[in-house]
Amino acid sequence: MPKYRAYDSALIDKALQELQEKGASVRSIAGKYGIPKSMIHFKLKHPNHKETFGPPPVLTSKEEQCLVRWISELGRKGFPRKLEDLVSSVQKFLDANPRPNPFKNNRPGNGWIKAFLRRNPQKREQKNVYTIEKGTSKENVTVMFTFSASGEICAPMIVYPYKRIPEKIIQSVPPQWGIARSDNGWMAAETFYEYITNVLHPYLIKQKTIFPIILFVDGHKSHITYNLSVLCNTLQIKLIALYPNATRILQPADVAVFSPVKAAWRKIVRQFYLDNTGETINKGNIAPLLQKIVVSIKSDTLINVFRICGLCPFDANKVDYDYTKCLGSTNANMISNDKQNNANSNTRTMSYDAFANIVGPTLIKKFEEIDEINSDENFKKLFLI
């Protein structure tokens, strides 16, 4: 696209005004103000022609500057905004102030974001900036998820760090979900026992599940007690512990479920803070937010991941036996480098002159006298040499 020289709009207006008031010639005005005659003729013929190329902007300059000041103010106060926050804010503004725009559901795309950053380069995200967020153990909760090979999500259970759970929090938990308490909000033997008794088994009965069933657990000490074993035998629930340090290839939740769950949770958290200025996520409102995650989990994902892990249908050949997934990234890289080094160490090359210098002229002459060299290990002339 050819480049155009930009002329001062005020200077052009002044030239046109002088041309109309004094009746001077176009040539003299063009020479006086350094403006091409063609531009003066064009302005006289098209006085209302817009100066910019392309479609009109969705946001006015004043509205965009308000957005820029909002980002700057929050960044100065220690609340830097992400691109997701910027896009969501524009979407909410357009929902409240409808106007023609090319966006889908009033939500700007990557093209608008790139143009916004070009117009406001000082608002670009800074890289290599790290923050450490210190949490408080008083606000920790544990959520027990159980997934079925048929693609169903069993009723979850939330463990709160209370001696006695307030009635307000109990009312916030969705119906059929389990509620438990522990001193630190973590899963304990007693809370898992309560989950089997009060949540999982009633859910299976309601779903008309045929017993016995297999319940795969991660083998944590909170899951394995004598009382729990007696209970599960009575209820025809067969507990099977997954191999330690192998959950990344055998645990369906770790293989394909928790990654999209965490991504969905991050979106829910961002949307919560956008919709509820000044509020925080706490024990009193976390249950309704978690319910949105449960709804987002797809049934087909659960069915496929049980098959990939070789659990249902049971097939050991379906498991991806990449043992590096069971190690940390550092150890996996060390193993990969060792394999590469070993592969390289098995291959050695040598020039003919170097080989002849090592074995000597006598053996070289014997090699030359052999009519045909057979690479078979039974070719005894090689051993004689």
Per-residue pLDDT of 195-238, as tens digits, reads 999 999 999 999 999 999 988 887 565 566 778 888 888 999 98
Percent of the chain beyond pLDDT 70? 72
Indicate yes or no: pTM above 0.75. Answer: no
Q: Torsion angle, CA of 368/369/373/378, rounded to 10 degrees?
A: -130
d(CA 97, CA 91): 10
State the first-to-last Cα distance of the chain, in angstroms, to the nearest integer.
Answer: 76
Per-residue pLDDT of 87-146, as tens digits, reads 888 998 899 899 999 999 999 999 898 888 888 886 555 443 333 344 444 578 888 888
- The answer to whether 367 and 356 have CB atoms below 8 angstroms apart is no
d(CA 174, CA 141): 16
pLDDT(56) > 70:
yes
- Helix 26-33 crosses helix 9-22 at what angle (to 10 degrees)? 150
pLDDT at 133: 40
Q: What is the Rg, in whole angstroms, of the alpha carbon atoms belonging to the chain? A: 36
* CB contact set of 81 (below 8 Å; sequence gap of 6+): 71, 74, 75
Six-digit token string for 235: 């209820």
User: In whole angstroms, how far apart are CA 169 and each of 145, 165, 179, 276, 288?
Assistant: 19, 7, 10, 19, 11
pLDDT at 129: 37
* Spacing of C-alpha 211 from chain mean position: 38
Domains of the chain: 9-45 (1.10.10), 61-123 (no CATH), 155-318 (3.30.420), 352-384 (no CATH)
319 against 213, higher pLDDT: 213
